[in-house]
Structure 1
């Protein structure tokens, strides 16, 4: 069983519906495939196929053995594809950080396009907050960052503008009051804050005047607490729109916090084929 081609040919005959179709696919003659299958049965010592009319089918033993061989062949194909990519200079892994505040819809679209082009390249995606991404860049743990913070020593480009507005559950008193909310109104209620993920940093955003506060590590946790009515938070407008239980609060003087979504990457990251493609895909997506 050192040569796995007969197994591949046998599975091909079954999947493609016959010897002739498999012969065309594998660029062999039908007699070559038939002889290989017979030799495979001799090696195994058990009948693998039988004829049902003019159609070749698997025996029960053949079904069990080919079922075991299919994942083996898939793994070999995957290893070969990875080897081919590596010989072409394609990176096996890309490590990136995306700030949790960045809307995920364009990021998901980027990853979908990239996975189709470079399926063998693994993506290590870190979901950071504020200074967490830049800290990982400085340590060399990642090669690309998308977020709102500056990364010292690297050129950054603006991808989009992010508008943060206060929001609360539709049942929250802030969401139900008739008049627009003021800073004083916000201070009376608990604020839900996403904690900075940079080691040793205590920054938690621009508006932190509320005395009552819950600090959490992840955006999903924050949204869950807001939806439960435990407090308000400043979130991007797309996040609020995608959660029907949340309501953007009407504020006096249209108070809002605007910041740029920025892209930063190292020269080494951009030098690789997969890295360069990911950067181009990000730019193209955020321009749409």
Structure 2
């Protein structure tokens, strides 16, 4: 192949293949969709193979495109890291740091780590994706992920932070005045509970433990939600009892708008973990983020 593709064409191909959309890739790259379409036609002509399947509604890599994507992603990532390491000689890492986190983890980071990180490293851009669904951070192009420790794959480098966490049932004083206060997990059967739907589609069972006795409760209720912040809001409105992270409920408990329930039945469990692959170079921006995370450790408790 005498006419070797340029770096811009290959980067554009990766953006389209991962976003599965010319429009989204164009937005990310700051180009027009028509420009990207022309670049892909040129790239396919140079490669002598069709790389993308296009329809009016979707874009997906062909078998050749999948192979090229798998080869290119680590190469271009290492190139970005090499360039970023050169930038370190100026004393400031630069570039984009992509992190995938749960909604709760994102809120915790926004309260301390992220402001410090962005103020200290003005050349960095943080792309934080907050979502409930657990994703493969490598295949999705993220530098790191943040989840509860029990969810992290074993082959990842993991850094614990924020201390232990726990889930607690909460309800508004008005709801409890009308329906009574449960004294044991079994009492929840007589209450209207706000249920939580997991990203998999399954309903979350409320789990309790006391003196070695474990109880899993499949609660009933008229409302099912898939976001923790909405569950807390539903409890505030008196719509029932919600089972939420203590960190989420604590501000409302302290002001008397919510009441914590079944305290002795709610043990703590290992908290949040920042994780990233151990088999590849760590970008300077991620190293800087980890440094800030460790500095602000004392401010990040999600359990107390």
2:110 and 2:277 map into 1 onto residues whose CA distance is 19
**Consecutive unaligned residues in structure 1, runs of 5 or more:** 1-83
For 1:204, the equivalent position in structure 2 comes to: 204
Structure 1 contact 100–127 (Cα < 8 Å) conserved = yes
Matching of residue 112 in structure 1 with residue 115 in structure 2: yes
Q: Quickly say closer, same or farther: Cα 1:192–1:241, change in 2 above 3 A.
A: same
Aligned-pair distance for 1:155?
Answer: 3.4
* Match of residue 101 from structure 2: 98
Report the counterpart of residue 147 of structure 1 in structure 2: 147
* Matched residue count: 197
CA distance in 2, matches of 1:174, 1:186: 15
User: Does the CA-based 8 Å contact 1:86-1:92 persist in structure 2?
Assistant: no
Structure 1's consecutive aligned runs of 4 or more residues displaced over 6 angstroms after TM superposition are none
CA distance in 2, matches of 1:223, 1:168: 9
Unpaired segments of 5 or more residues in structure 2? 1-82, 208-216, 300-304
For residues 130-164 of structure 1, the C-alpha deviation after alignment (integer angstroms, 9 at most, x for no partner) is xx24x242533422222214222213233210021
**Whole-angstrom CA distance in 2 between matches of 1:258 and 1:145:** 22
2:259 corresponds to which of 247, 261, 267 = 247
What's the CA shift for 1:233?
1.6
CA distance in 2, matches of 1:205, 1:144: 29
Question: Aligned match of 1:225 in 234, 252, 259?
Answer: 234
Find the counterpart in structure 2 of residue 258 from structure 1.
Answer: 268
- Specify the SS of the correspondent of 1:166: strand
| Deviation of 1:166 (Å) | 1.0
Question: Does the Cα contact within 8 Å between 2:206 and 2:219 map onto a contact in 1?
Answer: no
CA RMSD of aligned residues (A): 3.1
- CA distance in 1 between counterparts of 2:138 and 2:205 reads 21
